[in-house]
Amino acid sequence: MNKDSTSAFAPHVEGANVIHIGIAPRIAVEYIGEGPLVMMLHGIGGDRSTWAHQLLHLAESGYCAAAWDARGYGDSDDYDGPLSFTEMARDLSNVLDAFAVDKSHIVGTSIGGRISLETYANFPDRFASLTLAGVHARFGAFSPEVQRNFVELRCKPLIQGGLSPADLAPKSSAIWPGRTRRRTRNPERSRRCRGST
């Protein structure tokens, strides 16, 4: 493993390691096990803890299982401006570089799946396999008005209630596969949600 720095943050899985990869932004990644890399990307209301049970199971099955906190989530650095899937795809490629692998099995749910698709579009040779869950792969095929309406409907409860995805996560964690721990870095994140289309 070629890691730029270690992290003081506690892992969600006993025996796992947490590292920070990169300089700016620093991306937090939790990993456990040895073998082929399986990289897991969380949804918009999650962080790496979403995958805690899967990390352990995959490690016990002979994989190096890893989950990141995307930019602005969990223990990763935030960034200024609107969401950029292209930059997040570069982040994922940099994470794979830090693990010193040419290819990885990539698993993405919701926005993590969207990031996976963008990564595949830019770095297709990095994928051993791709698993997507709850992804709107053809979102760009919708008219700009439909896209805008969809994003506004998704963001409306956050904006009206003054809530961020981190605020909603504890209420939703009972239905998510992993346990949840949140730390809000940027309370304006939910307001910038509109720029993600």
pLDDT of residue 94: 94
Which residue ranges of the chain lie beneath pLDDT 50?
2-5, 173-187, 189-197
Q: Indicate if the alpha-carbon torsion angle 21, 45, 185, 190 is positive or negative.
A: positive
Q: What's the token pair of residue 36?
A: 């082929």
pLDDT of residue 135: 85
pLDDT of residue 80: 75
Residues 6+ apart with CB under 8 A from 141: none
Residue whose token pair is 């993600």: 196
pLDDT of residue 78: 86
Residue 133 identity: A
**Cα 98 from chain centroid (whole Å):** 16
Q: Which helix (H) or strand (E) holds 146?
A: helix 144-161
Residue closest to 110 by CA, chosen among 70, 77, 78, 148 = 70
Integer angstrom CA distances of residue 176 from 52, 125, 170: 11, 31, 10
Distance CA 113, CA 130 (A): 9
Decide: residue 106, CB within 10 A, 0-12 exposed, 13-18 middle, 19+ buried.
buried
Q: Which helix (H) or strand (E) holds 160?
A: helix 144-161
CB atoms within 10 A of CB 29: 26
Instruction: Give all domains of the chain, ordered by start, each with its CATH number.
Output: 5-196 (3.40.50.1820)
